[in-house]
Structure 1
């Protein structure tokens, strides 16, 4: 049982920022993106990627549009060192992509890191150093002054080592690991010292990265910290302010968005939020969030399934079904009320209009997803979703009252069998209920004749397997067929009739929907399909009669007051 946590956990105090400006700002352009999938994301895997999988993911990241990619921690292992060398020696890095590598602020590691980058066209050396009080005292056993000196010495060494390789365009990134738990005055002191040691200028900017290595407070506190640094660091025009939000509190995306409002210009993270512990900020979600607000993200996720496939194949991780934008079910509605609203939104949508579909704030087509999976059927579904699925997959547009009637059939089926009902299974259930109903009556053929009252019909059926010919007269074929069927002593009337065309050209079929009512008020729909609309209508009438068989007394063959009759050899509609 969780008890009062006040003795154990205390709210993290934000910096003094009474006149904060970030709440009044909006994001109007995409940040500089930096993917750390191959380094931070790789370190977080049960089984780190081998060279081939890392190369596949590197190519995926390049294809998405990342221009800065942290590819390795070359001083940590020979595998990482060799991977960096392979990228450079085999000329696998696109001309517009800069690779980045990480190192702790220690001389042997920094020398090994710069060695790994020899011959690169463009490279970012990323130095990381913990600066917070718990790390200084508990992990490093160092004072503020010693931590500051370590940072300055590391930057000066990298500046010296890179000066010996002028063929490479060198850039420096310095990360204050555990920034969110670092005293603001010390954080700005470290930042100013390393930017001075690097000699940062507007033409040679330093990247100062302020990670929430551990997410210690709410996103608004992180935004306050970023804005405070944005205001107080020296040489602001010579600095790219970068953030690297982790997701310990589950709010990394919000933290990154607010940080951009607070002055950050660059975001580091991983595809789908991979990373140590609870992960890094999800760059897919962050980028597509911008897209939904009318901001071009500069990253291409138009084939999200390919990105998911590459990610899962390379990392061995799975993208959850509810992952924003990319999950299998994120565009899927099972709820009946949701499905009805979505169906109406699709029906009202005009080509090239602003996206405005209820419950779908994002067009699935923008990430290469079809509309097939938007509505899926289970026991929670309603008439709107069922009707949408039949229309989108099979071209059958159900009348509204038929939607209600069939939804009860689907509900009973789902309650009996459980699970999801796919499109094909739904169509089979529809066909069994309406199209394939051949007992006790089965349609064989019919002939129409001109008559003083309009038209007469000879309707050839089987009743419980016995051939019979029924006759009727009416002001049209449907009325004549109803009169013929009423000789079965069932007395039905047409309550509603609709017809549709399914398909086009030579494959087009007519679909008729007939709602019949018995004398005691019971109603049921019948559906008929045929190349000929009259035949489809008569099939629909017989379908409805079969569904009303008990009310019409059709189960008693002796009630039929007609004689068997042969079917003419040249019978036609």
Structure 2
């Protein structure tokens, strides 16, 4: 049974809340990014990645554009030690990429970390200790001064070893469980660490303030970040970093508001993979910037390939509704949505717009390696005529007249409803083909010859149930003349209510497509479509198809 009384406020609001960040309505530049996929992400997997898989993932992160990549906890695991050494010894770290290694504030672990990182082009030594009330009281059973000493002792040792070992080292300190720490005390510890490390603008120190466990609403975290940013010593020599987890489902919101509040850097993972509910999703953050016109300096132009590699090496699944990357995030099944999207796409094309303003679709799918026809308009029993017609036009080149498009929409929806499934584009086209296109039974027009005589006079050979007969008809145009001949041959009563045509540019063909809607004496309407390299023949085939649909 649920019992709300056991829970209370476990976080500590900032003592001075200026709320300056509230007055900003957007983030105007990308933060520095650090991928922690190979540490947080890997340690959260049921089956951690093999060495080969880690190397492949590292290559992906480099390709995407990460300049800082946390590669593991080399002093705590032989596997992670081997991975780091492989990167270094096989010269797999580009000169503009910095590897980051994690270590607790413990003497022997820090020393082994420096051994592991020897030879790297550049490295961030990320040391941490927990400062929260719960950890101080329940885990370490130490006072505030004792916890602070762990941090400053760690800082002194990394500074000493950096001077003893060859290499280009930078430092990062995290007061782990920052969100469960009194902000005044977190500030005291961080400033003590900074005093020990003595950062300069040329060699800044990263102060990382993690949402190790999310405890508050996002604005509380933003206030904490603003407070720290305002009060940290050496602020022009400090890179203020974020490391949000997603326990409350607010990882992206926490990060975006904290960036408004003064943070400079973000640690996160692709697709938010991490412990418990995960780390913040860097892809969502970066693409949110992109859709606001801010270059994230990360390349997600081939999202399907990123998803494929990620799923293969982590054995995790990218949820279909994951922002930007999920298989269905651009999919519109709703008829009204499909209609709006189709009209928006056409509006953009007709007006030659560069700006992206299409309804319901916040980013151009082609920017991230997706397609309109396969990803945007998806067809099932909820779909509408606009979307179905748009798919047929974009994928196969057939631009149906409006009333025929409506008839076709209901036909496709009925097929999907009966089958209880989504119809892929090829099946949608199959319904169109079998229902309307070039239907030549039981009636077909085998030959037609025309004479200019009081309009157009047509001599037509019509086959009805396999029996050919010659007949004639007069009309104000060729198709009208053929129509009157067919009516005479078949004893039918109809008129052409709708006719349209266009060139059909699809594949390697150079055909014309024609559409005919017939109004019958009983008030019903039938539709047909025809294709041929000759536009007159295409119209005649469309006429026969419409007759055969009675």
Would you say same fold, with TM above 0.5?
A: yes
Q: Say which SS state the counterpart of residue 49 (structure 1) adopts.
A: coil
Using the TM superposition, give the Cα deviation of residue 444 of structure 1 relative to its aligned residue in structure 2, in angstroms: 2.0
The residue aligned with 1:399 is 401
Equivalent residues in 2 for 1:224-303 (5 A)? 224-303=223-302
Distance change in 2, residues 1:7/1:38 (3 Å): closer
- Give runs of ≥4 in structure 1 deviating > 6 Å: none
Q: Which residue of 2 aligns with 1:365?
A: 366
Residues 72 and 101 of structure 2 are in contact (CA less than 8 Å); yes or no, is this contact kept in structure 1?
yes
Residues 504/169 of structure 1: CA separation in 2 closer, same or farther (3 Å cut): closer
Q: Distance in 1 between matches of 2:148 and 2:96?
A: 34
Equivalent position of 1:557 in the other structure = none
CA offset at residue 485 of structure 1?
2.1
Query: In the TM superposition, what whole-angstrom CA distance separates every residue of 1:189-220 from its partner, at most 9, and x where no partner exists?
Result: 10000011112222221111000000111111
Stretch moving more, 13-22 or 128-137: 13-22
1:431 to 421, 433, 442: 433
Any idea what SS the aligned residue of 1:426 has?
helix
Q: Deviations over 1:36-79 (max 9, x none)?
A: 01111111111111111111111111111111100010111111
Q: Is the 8 A contact 2:438 2:531 kept in 1?
A: no
How far does the alpha carbon of each residue in 1:240-289 deviate from its partner, in whole angstroms, 9 at most, with x for none?
Answer: 11000000011101110100000100000001101100110001110111
**Corresponding residue for residue 418 of structure 2:** 416
Cα distance 1:377–1:153, how it changes in 2: closer, same or farther (>3 A)?
A: same
How far did residue 34 of structure 1 move?
0.4
Note the C-alpha offset of 1:506.
8.5
Measured in 2, the distance between the counterparts of 1:301 and 1:518 equals 55
**Which residues in structure 2 correspond to 1:33-432 (within 5 Å)?**
33-165=33-165, 167-350=166-349, 351=352, 353-373=354-374, 374-432=376-434
1:464 and 2:465 are equivalent in the alignment: yes
1:480 alignment partner, SS class: helix
| Structure 1 position 494, deviation (Å) | 1.3
- Determine helix, strand or coil for the equivalent of 1:147: helix
Q: Give the drift of 1:361.
A: 1.0
Cα shift at 1:352: 5.4
Q: Distance in 2 between matches of 1:260 and 1:147?
A: 28
Helix, strand or coil for the counterpart of 2:373? coil
Choose 343-352 or 282-291, whichever is displaced more: 343-352
SS at match of 1:254: helix
Mapped to 2, the partners of 1:503 and 1:159 lie a distance apart of: 68
CA deviation after TM superposition for structure 1 residue 344, in Å: 0.5
CA distance in 2, matches of 1:500, 1:160: 78
**Structure 2: gaps of 5 or more residues:** none
* Contact 2:330 2:365 (C-alpha < 8 Å) held by counterparts: yes
Unaligned runs of 5+ in 1: 549-573
Whether the 8 Å contact between 2:12 and 2:179 is mirrored in structure 1 is: no
Pair 1:265–1:196, CA change in 2 (3 A): same
Residues of 1 paired with 2:507 and 2:196: CA distance? Answer: 76
Q: State the partner residue of 1:516.
A: 518
SS in 2 for 1:241: strand
Cα deviation 1:488-509 (Å, max 9, x = unaligned): 3321111121111112899321
Distance in 2 (alpha carbons) for counterparts of 1:445 and 1:105: 91
The 1-side partners of 2:123 and 2:506 are apart by 59
**In the aligned structure 1, how far is the partner of 2:477 from the partner of 2:221?**
76
Cα distance in 2 between the residues matched to 1:272 and 1:369? 17
Structure 2 CA distance for aligned equivalents of residues 530 and 2 of structure 1: 70
Q: Aligned equivalents of 1:457 and 1:102: distance in 2?
A: 87
Larger radius of gyration between Structure 1 and Structure 2: 1
* 1:450 Cα deviation from its structure 2 partner: 2.9
Aligned to 2:29: 29
Superposition deviation, residue 13 in structure 1: 4.6
Alignment pair present for 1:15 and 2:14: yes
CA distance 1:144–1:506, change in 2 (3 Å) = closer
| CA shift digits 1:381-422 (9 cap, x unpaired) | 010111111111111101100111111111111111121111
Seen in structure 2, the aligned counterparts of structure 1 residues 437 and 507 have a Cα distance that, compared at 3 Å, is closer
Distance 2:161 2:252 in 1: 37
Please give the alpha-carbon distance, in whole angstroms, between the structure 2 residues aligned to 1:479 and 1:504: 28
| 3-state SS, counterpart of residue 354 of structure 1 | coil
- The 1:18–1:70 alpha-carbon spacing in structure 2 relative to 1, beyond 3 Å, is closer
Partner deviation per Cα, 1:533-568 (whole Å, 9 max, x = no partner): 1111111111111112xxxxxxxxxxxxxxxxxxxx
Shift of 1:335: 1.0
Equivalent-residue separation in structure 1 for 2:459 and 2:198 (angstroms) = 99
Q: Which moved more, 1:456-465 or 1:427-436?
A: 456-465
